[in-house]
Amino acid sequence: MDSSTPISIDVKQVSEELRIRPEMYVKIASSFVNSLSGKLKILSDAMSIDDRDQMRMTLHEIKGTAGNLRLRNLSAVESVMHEALKAGESQSRLTQYFEALRRESEKLQLYMNALSARN
């Protein structure tokens, strides 16, 4: 899990793969990325009371949409945290993974905002 990996999304290629219009891809992906801070807040709140069901549900939601939109860096970071949760790893380890997820989300948000501005 290397959160220093730069983000690069080939909108044309992903849109062709999904068979959707590129402008719609940017619109849908931006909407998702902008909703991430809210989802991370839910995740953070769940972590603070060790509500693992809520953590699982929130991670599952992020995973499903990130995967559908081919946001591979985010999916990869999420998967590590999801597996750690399933394995019953400690709260401190989950916090580390959460921080990596938050950093990846912030990078993605900056990237998508720049992409939206160009389109």
Catalog residues that contact other proteins under the rule CB under 8 A: 17-21, 24, 27-29, 31-32, 35, 57, 60-61, 63-65, 67-70, 75
Closest distance to other proteins from the beta carbon of 50 (Å): 21
> CA-to-CA distance for 23 and 119, rounded, in angstroms?
7
Closest distance to other proteins from the beta carbon of 70 (Å): 7
Closest distance to other proteins from the beta carbon of 88 (Å): 19
Residues in the chain: 119
Phi first, then psi: give them for residue 23, nearest 5 degrees: -65, -30
Contacts of 51 (CB under 8 A, 6+ apart): 45
The residue (of 71 and 101) whose beta carbon lies closer to other proteins is: 71
The residue (of 2 and 53) whose beta carbon lies closer to other proteins is: 53
